[in-house]
Amino acid sequence: MVMLLQILNERPDNDSEYLFLRSLAPYEKLEGTGAVWYIPMLVEAKADIRKEGRMTGSLFTRHNAASTVLRSESGVYEDGE
């Protein structure tokens, strides 16, 4: 849901079909799973988040996004939208 709101309300004007995860240039298409993995791992390291026995990185990001949508009792797309 957060990504949907970013795309609809906060995304800078551009002609790209990609959603950018980086806040600094260069804004480029991420290639492969390693590119997505790096961003949450960097954030977790800077925040000193302990990982022992916990889901982290891109796996946690996907799990959290799916759980948020399910808890909201609505899908990403609603009828009539």
pLDDT per residue over 43-80, tens digit each? 778 888 777 887 777 777 778 778 887 888 765 555 54
Q: Cβ of 21: how many Cβ atoms within 10 Å? A: 14
Task: Please state, in angstroms and rounded to a whole number, the distance separating the CA atoms of residues 28 and 66.
Answer: 25
Question: Does residue 6 form part of some domain?
Answer: yes
pLDDT, tens only, 3-31: 667 667 766 677 777 766 666 666 666 67
End-to-end CA gap in the chain? 15
Question: Does residue 80 form part of some domain?
Answer: no
pLDDT at 44: 79
Question: Does residue 76 form part of some domain?
Answer: no
Question: Does residue 77 form part of some domain?
Answer: no
pLDDT at 26: 64
Please list the alpha-helical segments (H only) found in 1-56: 2-5, 32-46
- Tokens 């916990």, residue? 54
Please list the alpha-helical segments (H only) found in the chain: 2-5, 32-46, 57-71
- What pTM does this model have? 0.40
Task: Give the domain extent around 62.
Answer: 2-71
Domain count, the chain: 1
